[in-house]
Structure 1
């Protein structure tokens, strides 16, 4: 089969015996994985992507298509590399370890929000979400994963992911509707 038309799952499976198949995955998936890392750790994204590919290559034989797609497996590797990065930063700064800090530096996300006026409120809303709900929402919204794929990345059942994603979307939607309503009342452009 031509590697250009071969699915990511087949390429990853075949890469255990043929390293050239892995090269095609690197070309196909580097952009989306780099985007995922750059939105969370802009200054370290290039190095983190390299680490993702090193870890993915060394553990490629562990990929099981019965447990998910190559895409979700690679996002899982990226998520683990990112978490290790934040834990390392925390240790270097001698800060107490925290799961919230170890997964997403929200102070950096705030600087990149397009709607500056809504940014602080949206940031507080997102920071107030439970960690898994926030991660699911970001994987679906930013990384364009399906809820089932995001569930596999986070390591929870798809039904649980859908309900948590619904809760997160409902909270964010309520805040954004309140902002729109307030702006209409005050005559500010929405």
Structure 2
């Protein structure tokens, strides 16, 4: 009787070249083919008890290689999508000058500091944390109606405090004073 290790060596020797050729024909980068074959034989090693006898082992290995290739291609698509998102993010970060908004932010922060604490908190929870009025109400222990009223008044007061004088302050202010979408009411 042949040992499992010897059986694996025989299957490997008999199928390595054919599986490598199979993988090379199915990947864009030839370097990936060796990874596909290595993963295929790793599965065969781990599942040695499932390895069918003789010629059936070759077909079984092709099936494993096919699934490994499918995983490889899916991973490539995910890597491409992630790479594209990262490239877009880097481009947007590099093109934005964070120093440009500093004066406007200081103006808005100073105006926020002049609001009553509850109004300031309602505005900040809405604009900076992205909470809807009903969520702000829960955080602050108020009714949703009270929060909507306070939010409307706080936005008006903030606009009065900032005014339209500072150049580009409107851009920063717009975020804080945007109207609440219908679904958030």
**TM-score when normalising by structure 2:** 0.39
Higher helix share: 2
Q: Larger C-alpha radius of gyration, 1 or 2?
A: 2
What TM-score, normalized by structure 1, do the two folds share? 0.38
